[in-house]
Amino acid sequence: MQFLIADTFSDSLARLTGEEQKLVKTAAFDFQLHPTTPGSQLHRVENARDKGFWSARVGRDLRLIVHQGDGSRLLCYVGHHDDAYRWAERRKLERHPRTGAMQLVEVRETVREIDLPVFVEPKSRPAKAKPALLTHVTDDDLLGYGVPPEWLADARKATEDTLLDVCEHLPREAAEALMELATGARPPMPQLLLAGGNPFEHPDAQRRFHAMTSVEDLKRALDSPWDKWMVFLHPAQRELVSKRFNGPCRVAGSAGTGKTVVAIHRAVHLANTKPSARVLLTTFSPVLAGFLRQRLAQLTAGDETVADRMTVLPIGQTAHDVYAAALGAPKVANAVDIADAVATATRNHPGSPLSAKALIEEWQDVVDAWQLVSWDQYRAVQRLGRKTRLNERQRGEVWPVMEAIRSELKASGLVTSAEVFATAADVIKAGSAVSPFEYAVVDEAQDLSVQQLRFLGALGAGKADGLMFAGDLGQRIFQTPFSWKSLGVDIRGRSHVLRINYRTSHQIRSCADRLLPGELADVDGVTEQRKGAVSVFTGPQPEFLRSRSEAAEVEGVVQWVRERLAAGIRPDELGIFVRSAAQLPRARRVLQESGQNTAELDLGVVPSPGQVSISTMHLAKGLEFRAVVVMAVDEGVMPLAERIEGVADTADLEEVYSAERHLLYVACTRARDYLLVSGIAPVSEFLDDMDL
């Protein structure tokens, strides 16, 4: 008998208490281990339209809803008695007549009609009824997209006000298609199941039903019910996980579209299909590497042969290890070392057209970043993203200072981080050291530096499937743009954009998207279309708080935090972010006054259970929370006044504003269900852009 689990079961399990979840997991294991469980433990749901639904008692009041068919047993739902029975009475499990995919369909006539309020201006004519959005789509096409026959009329009548409500009642592939069609896109038709095929094996069915082949498989699915990403993949994600590429590839998409999901599954897929290969899963941040390590452990639990050949490390540690193996452990210069070297070089070479601060930036972002060692290289380098324009004469005046900085660091026995990456890449290319990994999968790739990309290019050089990058140009906040192609990493023709958002509600995603343009492009001309992205679930509208004082802002945020906690949000499901360290005291005050323990994120810190996380926006990358507060979005803070004051011309100003918008976008899209953006009047213009 085939034993399966539905994503609706995983969702319902997550809503139970810890003790209730333990009881349910025990019952689930019993069903798998003993498929011939005596019938006395199962009771048919008499009022269900689908006579395949049965209930099983779990504890005193909990009921497990199971669907039994020919040769299959499906865990569908769990809840308290009345709730569980209502759920089963309003569903049926059926094969879609066109696509062949198995679907859990909500029975149309049991759905209560919802009156949506419509705002009408006082003393004005009645508002015109909004037009239906999908009149241009035929019933035949709607069936092709997986809309259940009984929901065709509702789909055709859906307006701007009712579309999301209709979509909440539909199978996911149908809901996604309707939202794309409503925005003017034309999504591809789902594939049709071949005659005689198993309807649970259709790609769209596999995103909601997962066949359990072992006890370990079921354990992974039940251990962390929030992490449905471990078992339920969108067909577009599943294709990228297993697809063969003849060169480096990139998975793009806006925040929440599952790029990290693809990266983790891709790494496991490579380890499974390349039995002797060593696979690296990496990212630029130690914090993110910690989260990737936790998730990889969940996905590979019980499969030590695969886990032993996989490594999760920050990219910096990986390069350091290669360098140390070949040349001994490097002594890496820190910010103070570089500032001292610049000061000494400036004293010895007066007359530079740049200030000390600008010289440090020129060294770090141009000379050291590109590892320029000659005047000819410096004169010719493209200075993309640099706020200070330098003509050839000015570069000639700056170059002696740059050479002196390098000499000062070398005399002190120091190397820079960029030099570690460059040297490690050269060592691998020259064959002086064996590459420690055959395959590398890189998360948050938009924030890789020049030499980090060079190093990764050396790791994956000449290998099919050697490199996969996952990232979003809209979340680039650390690095200035540069050409990947010029470094030998050419992803043109192998860049794929994910458009379905799983992490962030429609309301939060729509709000955050107002901060960015509809299309972004990298230096090599590879574009990412942000239009057409859709979220698979809805939630409350984001809230905005404009306060007269810091005390008033803190009071308002404390109240919001208490309301979220009272509604069942766990402390570790809540994050508070601010622009920079200068605003962290405001976040700390919120937690002190709300009586919560704090996990203040740092480069090497992963938040612990029971603690609310606070950090600067830069450390929010890759994290996710059910509820997020973005505080101190004041005028002069977003965008940061210090950055504006250093602007030289209009182009520079646009660049600064764009980077600050990306940063706020990153912070806001960490939220799944609830978002509060607050500031002290006068607030940032960005807040006004979001709060239409």
pLDDT tens per residue across span 151-202: 999 999 999 888 888 988 999 899 989 988 887 888 889 889 888 889 999 9
**Fold designation for 2-101+196-223:** YaeB-like fold (3.30.2310)
Mean pLDDT of the 436-458 span: 92
Q: Is 42 exposed, middle or buried (0-12, 13-18, 19+ CB in 10 A)?
A: middle
Q: Specify the higher pLDDT residue, 26 or 467.
A: 467
**Do you know the residue count of the chain?**
692
Query: Is the predicted pLDDT of residue 73 greater than 90, yes or no?
Result: no
* Cα angle 139-145-146, degrees, rounded to a multiple of 5: 95
pLDDT tens figures, 34-71? 655 544 478 899 999 999 999 998 888 899 999 998 77
Q: How many CB atoms lie within 10 A of CB 654?
A: 11
Give dist(CA 285, CA 444) in Å, integer: 9
Q: Is 579 exposed, middle or buried (0-12, 13-18, 19+ CB in 10 A)?
A: buried
Q: Is the CATH number of domain 540-690 3.30.230.30? A: no
The token pair at 243 is 């697809």
Domain ranges of the chain: 2-101+196-223, 109-182, 233-326+420-484+494-534, 335-414, 540-690
Q: What is the pLDDT of residue 386?
A: 54
pLDDT tens figures, 319-373? 999 999 999 999 999 999 999 999 999 999 988 888 888 899 899 989 999 999 9
pLDDT band at 641 (very low <50, low <70, confident <90, very high): confident
Q: What is the pLDDT of residue 121?
A: 47
3-state SS, one letter per residue, for 559-614 = HHHHHHHHCCCCHHHEEEEECCHHHHHHHHHHHHHHCCCEEECCCCCCCCCCCEEE
CA dihedral angle for residue 527, residue 529, residue 530, residue 532, rounded to 10 degrees: -170
The token pair at 228 is 């449905």
Percentage of the residues of the chain whose pLDDT score is greater than 90: 47
Give dist(CA 98, CA 381) in Å, integer: 57
> Do 2-101+196-223 and 233-326+420-484+494-534 agree at the fold level?
no
Q: Which CATH class is domain 233-326+420-484+494-534?
A: alpha beta
Q: What is the pLDDT of residue 119?
A: 44
Q: Is 126 exposed, middle or buried (0-12, 13-18, 19+ CB in 10 A)?
A: exposed
Coil, helix or strand at residue 646: coil
Q: Which of 172-186, 288-302, 463-477, 498-512 has the lowest mean pLDDT?
A: 288-302
